[in-house]
Amino acid sequence: MQTDQVRNIILVGFMASGKSSVGRALSRRCGWPRVDIDEEIVARAGKPIADIFQDSGEAAFRELERTVVSEICAESGRIIAAGGGSFIDEASRRTMLESGTVFYLSTRPETIRRRVTRGHPNAPVRPLLADGDPLEHIKELLAQRTPAYSQAHHTLATDDLTPDRVAEAILKICGPGL
């Protein structure tokens, strides 16, 4: 794909698949601004995502997410890191697919579990993994989400790659000149 066809580069995938880190690496390499959908939601709501889930429920969070996705994707020349579940929503998925080149950052369940449970004191709370066995819950959610993720324009496995290597692969697919 040539860069004159790329309006935005949109990163989708499960939590801890590397969307934010790869987004930062892409932004450094191509100079496009990075926008993180989850960070924008937190800024607009004035509270962490876990609190939005707790106070208002998942449906209210997804509605806010849908609005943010629509507004962010209306612009061009951005690296967009989408929330882990945002591509599952049909309206958000359609918006993303129409407004840029979408990359699904595929990650094995065991890698996700390791990344979200490695005990970082500043790691965000993951509301969808709060109850039960995290690995089993990750597997269940991935199974549910895979049909949506498979609709991305491109899929890249991130398990054994650094964010910089994933960024290199994305830029190679998009073509020269970014």
Domain ranges of the chain: 3-174
Pick the CATH number of 3-174 from 3.50.50.60, 3.20.20.70, 3.40.50.300, 1.10.3210.50: 3.40.50.300
With residues binned 3-state (H G I as helix, E B as strand, rest as coil), the percentages for the chain, rounded to 5, are: 55, 10, 30
pLDDT of 10 > 50? The answer is yes
Average pLDDT of the chain, as a whole number:
88
- 77-124 confidence digits (pLDDT tens): 999 999 888 999 999 999 999 999 999 999 999 999 888 876 544 444
pLDDT of residue 131: 63
3-state secondary structure of 109: helix
**Band of pLDDT at residue 2, cut at 50, 70 and 90:** very low
Spatial CB neighbours of 146, under 8 Å, sequence gap ≥ 6: none
Of 118, 140, 113, 154, nearest in space to 12 by CA: 154
Question: DSSP of 144-164, one letter per residue?
Answer: HHHHHHTTSSEEEE-TT--HH
- 27-63 confidence digits (pLDDT tens): 999 999 999 999 999 999 999 988 998 999 989 999 9
Mean predicted confidence (pLDDT) in 9-18: 94
Percent of the chain surpassing pLDDT 90: 72
Q: Which residue has the tokens 């969070």?
A: 61
Mean predicted confidence (pLDDT) in 128-138: 73
pLDDT of residue 132: 66
